[in-house]
Structure 1
Amino acid sequence: MTLSSLHGRLVKYYLSIKENRWHWIFQIVLRILLAYAFIVAGMVKIMGERFASGLSVIHPMGSYLEALHHTGYYYTFIGYAQVTAGVLLLIPSTVLMGALLYLPIIVNIWILSFAVRFVGSYTTSPLMVLANLYILVWHYDKLRYILPFNRYSKEVSFAKPEKYSKKFPIWFCLGVISTMTSVVCFSLFGHEVMPKNSLEACKAQFTYPETQEAGFEFCECIHTIGNPLDDCLKRFDQIKN
């Protein structure tokens, strides 16, 4: 199969998605949810409040957010960027601009959440990245003009279908459910130990007596002493083994 024939098939499949009402509704729901998340989070920063203020300042994520809160107008700038991205997502004519602005911010949040194993966004941030990518793919007819591997001279957007298909995309729906389930399962069971958001919640994950000594010391290391996550994980492995 040549690249041109593969591209033709992908475009044909893309057009079938654009003509499906269920996909159209799905991308609208994603836009609203993503916009809501960023507008709320952004307003907290604009108002000068520390995000996740209930999190201890010696917690890996809490110490980061505390330092970020003291960066002055940089902290406020992030808030305005989030609110701007959220508002642009809600306006039909600026959706693509909003999705492009949204992507680097949410990817940064995703990597940060995984790096410090922050429960608050460990599950939601990768799902938000996938949702944002879906919106970008939905607007591929416009996005393709800034991609480096193709050139087009036709009109920017495909014409809006006169009538949407009402065929329910069962395989796509199953794929979405499977992806969400995989992300949630990984967030719950992907790591042997998580710092959690409080000392009590951290200790509660160690239900077996043989892991409690190492686990409780790990929790104290995080929430009482305030050592870096990597140091606490290394100590946990030493005691456990």
Structure 2
Amino acid sequence: MIAPRTASSYRRYRKPVVESSLDMKETVYSAPPLELSFRTMLSLDYLLRVDVRDIEPREFRGKKLKRDEQGRFCTTALKLNNNMIDSWSGFDEVVNKLISNPDDLNWVDLSFNALSSIDDVILKYPNIKILHLHGNEIEDLSDVDKLAKMPKLKSVSLHGNPIEQEKRYRTYMLTTLPQIRTLDLCTITKADRETAATMGAMFNVRVKQRKNRKWKSNAQSY
């Protein structure tokens, strides 16, 4: 049986970031989230090898999850944070195995793992409003483009990833995902959006200028 880790063992791992107040407002709690954090899981395959009835999630704020007739959990939120998961492989299978109504999934927390990318599999769940991926190893800023295909997404966290070191990280996030209300657990202000729009326009002008100079250089070489 997969049992929760003891309180003493938590000290060896990073503390989870508390959800922002806006996150809590965006998520309608018909049930507590499926709490599978702090399990030292190296991959999602681990959850596929065990019987769903043997999985005992931690209680969330003193509330215990109900199950359907197949033993799946009646919830719309999945928390897999603070593990050591390094691949999205098996994510779709895990969601369908553990969640009673997978299509209703609206909150996914995979923060503090070892993921190096944002996989297209997340697009199978268009009702996701909150996606926590902070504290991973995501390196390619263009991976964020995939999230633009999720119109209901309202809150995203990617701080603590290598992509945060990109100079245009915040501008890119806000221009690529104009629908979000919080970024990296902070509320997005009107001033944030105006600044991002200005910086984004300046960046596009510089890109166009570089292309023009390259075209002229190539033309002169003939």
What TM-score results when the alignment is normalised by the length of structure 2? 0.29
Question: Larger Rg: 1 or 2?
Answer: 1
Point out the structure with the larger helix share: 1
Which structure: greater strand fraction?
Answer: 2
